[in-house]
Amino acid sequence: MLLVVGCKSQKPVGLTTIPGQKTIVASNPNPLPVPTPVGGGQIPGGTTIPGGGGQPFVNPNPIIQPINPNNRGMLNEQGQGFTGQEMEDREAFAALTVHFEYDSAAVHPDDFEKIKLVALHLIQNPTHKLLVEGHCDERGTEDYNLSLGERRALSVVDELARMNVGADRLRTLSQGEKVPMVLGADEQSFAENRRGEFVLLMPAQ
């Protein structure tokens, strides 16, 4: 008799879970171009997206705070471009949160445009960096969810690297099931919690 545990089908392999070891994500030698978004608007920091003058898709008055090193799940560093003094803006890309299917770390095709917008902002603002958080629903073991959350974050980082965002400006953090977006035990809640979040990191003032 098979026992199915939540949103997991099998233990992932090849994960970088060794304490103290860094995950290095190299840029693709054949990066994808970042297309100009259709419709225009603004991206975080007031930079205008070429192609129009639409409304910003982010909060114009974001809450920016220092990174709290004690509120971390499984953190991996991609490169050496971080000083530890960056200010984090968790609202800037809130509208661009990506979501994942059941027991999957594959980026959904519908979310590629969101990732492209984040990449465009980083390319236009070279002093900005990014933390990508991977999240899971509550089903399954805590260790498995941490590993799955890491795979999800790394999948998003890999797409950003393919879009010419330097790996030294990217970090991943797996929160596993620790920080649900929605409290609930129904499938809709589970779907909301299987996600990747973008945290904008800016130089300290």
Please tell me the predicted confidence (pLDDT) of residue 166.
92
Mean pLDDT of 103-121: 95
Give the pLDDT score at 184. 87
Q: Assign 135 to helix, strand or coil.
A: strand
pTM of the model: 0.67
Query: Which range is least confidently modeled, 32-46, 68-82, 118-132, 148-162?
Result: 32-46
Q: Is residue 138 a part of any domain in this protein?
A: yes
Confidence of residue 81 (pLDDT cuts 50, 70, 90): low
Q: Is residue 167 a part of any domain in this protein? A: yes
Number of domains in the chain: 1
Of residues 75 and 20, more confidence is placed in 75
**Percent of the chain clearing pLDDT 90 (strictly above):** 51
In a domain, 65, yes or no: no
Q: Is residue 33 part of a domain?
A: no
Banded model confidence at residue 50, pLDDT cuts 50, 70, 90: very low
Kindly report the average pLDDT of the chain as a whole number. 73
CATH number (domain holding residue 190) = 3.30.1330.60
131 within some domain? yes
151 is in which domain, residue-wise? 73-202
Tens of pLDDT, residue by residue over 138-164, are 998 999 999 999 999 999 999 999 999
Does residue 38 lie in a domain region? no
**In this structure, is residue 22 part of a structural domain?**
no
Is residue 37 in a domain? Answer: no
- 86: pLDDT confidence band, cut at 50, 70 and 90? confident
Looking at residue 80, its pLDDT comes to 56
Q: Which residue has the higher pLDDT, 14 or 43?
A: 43
Average pLDDT over residues 92-103: 95
